Amino acid sequence: MKSIRRNTQLILALDVTDSNTAIKISKETAQYVDAIKIGYPLVLGAGLGIINKIYEIAPVIADFKVADIPNTDRLICSQTFEAGASAVIVHGFTGRDSVSECVRTAKDFNGDIFVVTEMSHPGAVEFMQPNALELASLAVECKATGVVAPATRPERVKQIRDIVGDLTIISPGVGAQGGSAADAIKVGADYVIVGRGIYNSKNPGIEAEKIVKEIEKCR
Ligand code: O7M
C-alpha cells in the first residue's frame, strides 16, 4: 500500500459525486498533492471501487468519520483498507475502545488512522470544542497516526499540536471555509486539506499549485 509522504503538504478533498470528474481532477492535481481525501459524497456517487481507481493516482484517505461500537468500526475499517485506502478518518467521541479497535485494524493493513478533534465549521464550538483537547490526548493514547484540527481556528491547531507532539495534524477549512493554508502550517499543521477551493475552480491544477507555493513560503 502507498503510504502518505510529506512533500507538498497539500491534501485534496475530492467531494465530487461522479467517477469521471473525480478521476479527471485527481490527474490534474496529482503532482501537487500528497494524498486525496474522499468521503461519502464520492463513494455514494461512484461506489467503493473508486478508492482503487484514485489509489492508482495518489494515496487515498477515506473520510468515513467512523463512529460506532468497536466491532462495527473494525468491519468498516477493514473493508475500507481492503478497498485500497491508505488511511481512514474516525471520530474519537466514541471512546478509547472504539478508537483502539480502528488503530488495531489499521495495523493489519499497514494503514493509518486519523482522529477528528474539533471540526472547522461554526457548530463545532457547541459540543466538540469543549472536548477537543481530550480527543487529541485520546488519539495519542490510542497510538493513532494523527488528528484532524481546524484551519479556521489556527490558535486551536497550535493548542492541539502542543498535546499531540509528533503525531501528524491534517487541517481542513482552508479557502471556502475562510481559513488560510499558510496560517495553519505556521501553527503546526503537517498538511492542509482543500476541497472546493480546488475542485470548483476552472483549473484545479493551477489552484493546487498556488496553495503549494503559499505553503513553501512558510518553510
Ligand atoms: O475545502 P472544503 O471546505 O470544500 O472541504 C473541506 C473538506 O474537509 C470536506 O471534505 C470536509 O468534509 C472536511 N472536513 C472539514 O471541512 N472540517 C472538519 O473539521 C473535518 C473535515 C474532515 O476532513 O474530517 C475528517
What are the pocket residues of ligand 1 if the criterion is a CB atom closer than 6 Å to any ligand atom? 13, 15, 37, 39, 63, 65, 89, 116, 119-120, 148, 150, 172-173, 175-177, 193-197
Among the listed residues 65, 143, 158, 186, the single catalytic one is 65
Which of ligand 1's atoms lies nearest the C-alpha of 15?
Answer: 10
> What's the pLDDT tens digit per position in 53-94?
999 999 999 999 999 999 999 999 999 999 999 999 999 999
At 35, list the grid cell. 494524498
Dihedral of the alpha carbons of 185, 190, 192, 193, in degrees to the nearest 10: -170
Q: Looking at ligand 1, which residue's alpha carbon is closest to its atom 19?
A: 119
Whether the predicted model's global pTM rises above the 0.95 cut: yes
Half-sphere exposure of 215 (CA within 13 A, CB side): 27
pLDDT at 1 over 80: no
Element (H, E) at 103: helix 96-108
202 in catalytic set: no
So what's the pLDDT on residue 148?
99
